[in-house]
Structure 1
Amino acid sequence: MDAVEYLKSIGSVRETSSQVFQYACQHHGGNYFELELSAMDAVADYLCSIIERDYGSDYAAIPPHGRWQHLNYGSQPRVETLIQDWTASGIDEIEIARKLIDLFVLSVLIDAGAGNVWQYTIPSSSNSEDAPAQRVGRSEGLAVASYYLFVDGKFSKDPTDPYRVEGSVLEQFTRAAFADGFQISDSNPMDGFDGRLELLQRLGRALNAHPKIFGAEGRPGGLVDYLYTKTSHLESETQNSIDLQDIWNALMTGLTSIWPAGRTVVNGEPLGDVWTLDTKAQASAEFPGQGPKAPEIPTDIVTFHKLTQWLCYSLLVPLERYGYQFSIKNKQLQTGLPEYRNGGLFYDFGVLKLKPDALARGRQLSSHLQKSTDLPTFEPQDGAIVEWRCLTIGLLDYLLPIVNDKLGYQLSLPQLIEAGSWKAGREIAAELRPDSKGPPIELHSDGTVF
């Protein structure tokens, strides 16, 4: 496996980030954060209280983390209603799977942080007549907004079938249409507006550039048919069996070109959500036998592929339940998601603490950006953000057995994220920062990260 192939692989995410986590465990922190693992017990207790509140002891009812739940924000079964309507109108199972993948891919890829101000007002027709208009921000707001754009046919060129996402439409998606669909205005600004729109347009070009994966129509749902060509049909298997890495490789091959220029490049190839980190170089020197074996792989690079992982998580349930009903092997290769709610949870409980120099530098950027807060702000490539994301992945793996021991039940990592860490990160943020409900560290976002 050469350097580029390795750094695009799902296995590289845990391997490269775990070196940083192990280094931080040995040194009570890295170059940017102090690490206090004794605070993890309080994190686990907080998570367990949320799980008990929401699920009682019915742990098997906890779904895996995915975009499905966000699309159904407010306990509205939007996705299930669509499926029922499609079934009633005679749409076959394979096309239902394609339509779900269309929706989920689109919704996930516009799901980078939207900031503390932007909110989406849910159309009044979806609320009861007497209820006040519902407004929702952040990831859930982006999900609901993408749902209404989808059902209104904004991504389809077929007037008889609005429930499609087609590359040719995304390529031509305008700034005005994006602002209108997401209700963006001077009084309702969205972080990373331009970067998010450009990513959507690049997604359209990528879909059209890979007909083998996304079909002649350039639909994300073409992935369903492509994956069927990868199925194995062993006598011992009753389902269409595929490997998680088949899904991963299709997404990496088909979507790498959507990421902005200026990210990490190896051997002339842009790698997406991949970054350099001085702490990683130090960890590689201290633990030389624990990283990638190929000598041509730079020792200071860590990989996250967060939106691709979030996409992969979100596609698994539709792929397993609809269409060909794939049986998917090696799902455990995915890591926890290195984003601000999971990472913020650990910071707010004191497991992580910015070192004084990093904190001062982050506050200086906040002041420069004229933010009305003393919270630190960093750009995505800053070592503080990259190290924070590495430590978040390691801490989620560290947290899982602690929570399972307290529950007396073996949750999977996707269940832990769904019922616990992601939700807990949001709730502790709202408790500590009720005005913004935002994370303890802010990202100067380009609309494609975190």
Structure 2
Amino acid sequence: MTQDIEKAKELLQIQAVRQHTAPIFELALQNNLDYFDVDLSKVDDVVDFVTDVIDRDFKDKYDTIPPHGRWGHLNAGGDLRVESLIELWRSQNVAEIEIGKKLIDLFVFSVLIDAGAGNEWRYIEKGTSKVFNRSEGLAIVSIDMFKNGELSDDPNDPYKVSASKLVSFEEPQLIKSFQITKANPLTGTEGRLQLLQNLGKALQSNNEIFGEDGRPGNLIEYLHKQSVDDSFELPLLWNALMEGLTSIWPKGRTQVDGVSLGDAWPLSTTAKLGVTDFVDTIIPFHKLTQWLCYSLIVPLKDYGYKFNISKQTLQTGLPEYRNGGLIYDLKVIELKPEHLKRGLELSKEIKSKTPEIPSFTPDDGVIVEWRALTIGFLDYILPLVNKKLNYDLSLPQLIEAGSWKSGREIAAQLRPETKGPPIDLYSDGTVF
């Protein structure tokens, strides 16, 4: 194995995310970046905004803040959809292990379709008149499809996700299920369809992790066998997801000597760190895998085998447009003029419905640097927020009650028509 291949494989580890984004954040503290200018005097504004949002919703009950995960999105609008499903299954005497499997089925599917939906798409929840967009809309799509049996090949049990159904999923089904029309376009429709089909193939080809029937929920049996007294360290879950799902990502992502790195991208800013080898320029994020890890921890801990999971702090903040939009909208970072110009030109070229918002592709240095800064600033503001609250929130709690929600709210204040991010991702529906 060559040294580059060894380095590439290390980039797939959860520890690599913070290890490789931290030096970029150090450059930010020196205002020595390629794509953004940094004004640290604005950090206090972020801390104030976030703590105000947390206090508004959780004053004197910080201990009730849940960790960040897909569960909250599935309950968008305050409807306890997940709890209602669990109550239904228990009323039908479904075994606790099977309830755990069903939750993992739902959460894996829901997270993996949760890439940016764009500014225009809306979804009307089935059986209601409630309208959702973006991440919450995609969450409601997923639970509607799950409840309707669209993901199960078991005629006696709609509440499953089956590899065979995903492999054979077709575009007309996607269009119907996601309520896509010319007037209601979904960003990255083709990429999302390929991701679903690839997920089905990955489930089929990784029997050790997902069982002979290729079901996400069988992950809990794998973890049960690999753990000691149903206790394990986070990297066991992480490595199972990385190994089991690596093949779902689109072709053309960053590779080193045949090793596919998924959500990891080269960044020119690394030259300021004295980096010369290509593999050392790559910044790993693995956002959807991290989002999946965060989302699976609660059902894995509380249902089925009720695992004890240690070393959860290895995970970072999520490098996506709500957390990242917060630091941009509150002017901690600002695009350098030449890159702002490039982004506005791309928005014009692609006939964006928001031409005043700069657009970039996922591999553009602007996006890669922005995502690295997002991870760094979340770590940076956590102790500042905790000091102001006089409470010890975890990073997942900060994201859930503070940064993600704050990013959404400041976007709605500044861009009420779209409520979208300050920088648009021109994407295939498999990033963010």
TM-score range (shorter-chain normalised) is over 0.9
Counterpart in the other structure of 2:116: 113
**In the alignment, which of 98, 103, 106 is matched to residue 100 of structure 1?**
103
2:157 alignment partner in structure 1: 161
Residue of structure 1 aligned with 2:308, choices 305, 308, 327: 327
Partner in structure 1 of residue 414 of structure 2: 432
Cα distance in 2 for residues equivalent to 1:136 and 1:283: 43
Residue 20 of structure 1 aligns to which amino acid in structure 2?
A: I
| 1:75-90 equivalent positions in 2, closer than 5 A | 75-90=78-93
Q: Is the 8 A contact 1:96 1:323 kept in 2?
A: yes
Q: Give yes or no for contact 1:210–1:254 (8 Å, CA) kept in 2.
A: yes
Question: CA offset at residue 96 of structure 1?
Answer: 0.5
- Displaced runs of 4 or more, over 4 A: none
Q: In 2, distance between residues paired with 1:375 and 1:187? A: 21
1:3·1:266 contact (CA, 8 Å) conserved in 2? no
Counterpart position of 1:246: 236
The alignment-based identity, stated in percent, is 54
Quick one: distance in 2 between partners of 1:422 and 1:241? 30
Shift of 1:267: 1.8
- Please give the per-residue CA displacement for 1:231-278, whole angstroms capped at 9, x wherever unaligned: 113xxxxxx211100000000000000001111001212110010001
Which of 70, 79, 84 is 1:67 aligned to?
Answer: 70
**In the alignment, residue 187 of structure 1 is paired with which amino acid?**
A
Q: Residue 4 of structure 1: CA displacement?
A: 2.7
Partner of 1:258: 248
Does 2:340 correspond to 1:359? Answer: yes
Q: Does 1:146 align with 2:142?
A: yes
The aligned residue for residue 16 of structure 1 is: 20
Alignment partner, residue 352 of structure 2: 371
Give the match's secondary structure for 2:76: coil
Distance 1:231 1:262 in 2: 35
| Matching of residue 229 in structure 1 with residue 233 in structure 2 | no
Aligned to 1:237: none
Q: Quick check: 33-42 or 410-419, which moved more?
A: 33-42
User: Are the counterparts in 1 of residues 359 and 426 from structure 2 also a CA contact under 8 Å?
Assistant: yes
TM-score w.r.t. length of structure 1: 0.93
Is 1:273 aligned with 2:263?
yes
- Checking the alignment, whether the CA contact within 8 Å between 1:100 and 1:221 is kept in structure 2 is yes
TM-aligned CA deviation for residue 281 of structure 1 = 3.1
Tell whether 2:15 aligns with 1:25.
no
SS at match of 1:336: coil
The answer for unaligned runs of 5 or more in structure 1 is 128-132, 234-239, 286-294
Q: For residues 416-431 of structure 1, what are the structure 2 equivalents within 5 Å? A: 416-431=398-413
* Structure 2 SS opposite 1:2: helix
Matches of 1:98 and 1:346 in 2, distance apart? 37
Q: Render the CA deviation track for 1:71-117: whole Å, top value 9, x for unaligned.
A: 00111110001011111111111110000000000000000000000
Separation in 2, partners of 1:37, 1:342: 17
The answer to whether 1:303 aligns with 2:284 is yes
Q: Distance in 2 between matches of 1:120 and 1:208?
A: 30
The equivalent residue for 2:293 is 312
SS at match of 1:411: coil
SS in 2 for 1:353: strand
Computed over aligned residues only, the root mean square deviation of the Cα atoms, in angstroms, reads 1.2
- Letter of the aligned partner of 1:87 in structure 2? R
Q: Which residue of 1 aligns with 2:61?
A: 58
> 2:277 & 2:267 partners in 1: Cα distance?
17
Distance across 1 between alignment mates of 2:125 and 2:224? 37
Query: Aligned AA for 1:168?
Result: S
Aligned residues: 427
